[in-house]
Amino acid sequence: MAAGRRKEKYEVPTEFRPARDTLPGRLPLLEVFRGLQRTVPFRKYPGDDKAILNIAQHTWAHVMDGPGWMYVAPIKTPPEVAAAGFRMVESREDVIVVARSHLANSPQMDVYLDIIHEFLHILQRRQGRALWLGPKVSYVDRPTEVEAYSYSVAEARRLGIPDTYLRKYLEVPWVKKSEYLRLLRNVGVSVK
């Protein structure tokens, strides 16, 4: 992507202003994703609002160099991920890992939808739900993934984002075309 930022096609809520120039390192989540706690989806996460804010205030953002997107740091890298040759940032604490290139250069709407998705994973994990179910359950069929993607899609729709954008947003390189089409169906985004 070019060094300069392109004009955003779809604007995120004005209260959300991520620190897109954050250098690699570990920082409080709400210092990197400023205003997240004032957004509509944050206020609609299931559970006690004060407890959710407290969780956000004690969650870390681990900004790393290199390519990638966002994910919740597992306690241990899942075997299927390690077998593919990828080593994840691991943590027993609540940590959302974000690639600096994604934070700095991706469309701001993608970053917004991703952080809403990943923070919901933090809450799911706090509820004792498994985020990794092993290779026998496809990524696109995991209940936690379907729930998190559906949550981000609902926010995108609230903001008037069309399915054409959502289809591109949901197209991730780690799933086959047939799984991608199933993900679209699973979260209610039209295939065409």
What are 130-188's pLDDT values in tens digits?
A: 998 878 888 889 999 999 999 999 999 999 999 999 999 999 887 889 999 999 999 99
- CB–CB of 122/47 below 8 Å? no
Checking if the pLDDT of 1 tops 50, the result is: no
Is 67 part of a structural domain of the chain? yes
Residues 77, 108: Cα–Cα separation, whole Å: 28
Residues 48, 52: Cα–Cα separation, whole Å: 6
More confident residue, 81 or 149: 149
Of 130, 154, 151, 153, whose CA–CA distance to 142 is shortest?
130
Is 74 part of a structural domain of the chain? yes
Is 105 part of a structural domain of the chain? yes
Which pLDDT band holds residue 81 (cuts at 50, 70, 90)?
Answer: confident
Is 12 part of a structural domain of the chain? no
Is 192 part of a structural domain of the chain? no
Contacts of 59 (CB under 8 A, 6+ apart): 28, 29, 94, 95, 96, 119, 122
The pLDDT score that the predictor gives to residue 2 is 38
Q: State whether residue 141 is helix, strand or coil.
A: helix
The pLDDT score that the predictor gives to residue 7 is 64
Is 9 part of a structural domain of the chain? no
Mean pLDDT of 96-124: 97
Is 21 part of a structural domain of the chain? yes
The pLDDT score that the predictor gives to residue 6 is 53
- CB–CB of 56/90 below 8 Å? no
Range of the domain at 74: 17-187
Residues 81, 87: Cα–Cα separation, whole Å: 7
Residues 153, 151: Cα–Cα separation, whole Å: 5
Return mean pLDDT, the chain: 92
Of 188, 183, 186, whose CA–CA distance to 173 is shortest?
183
Mean pLDDT of 83-112: 94
Is 61 part of a structural domain of the chain? yes
CB-CB neighbours of 132 under 10 Å: 18
Say how many domains are in the chain: 1
The pLDDT score that the predictor gives to residue 134 is 79
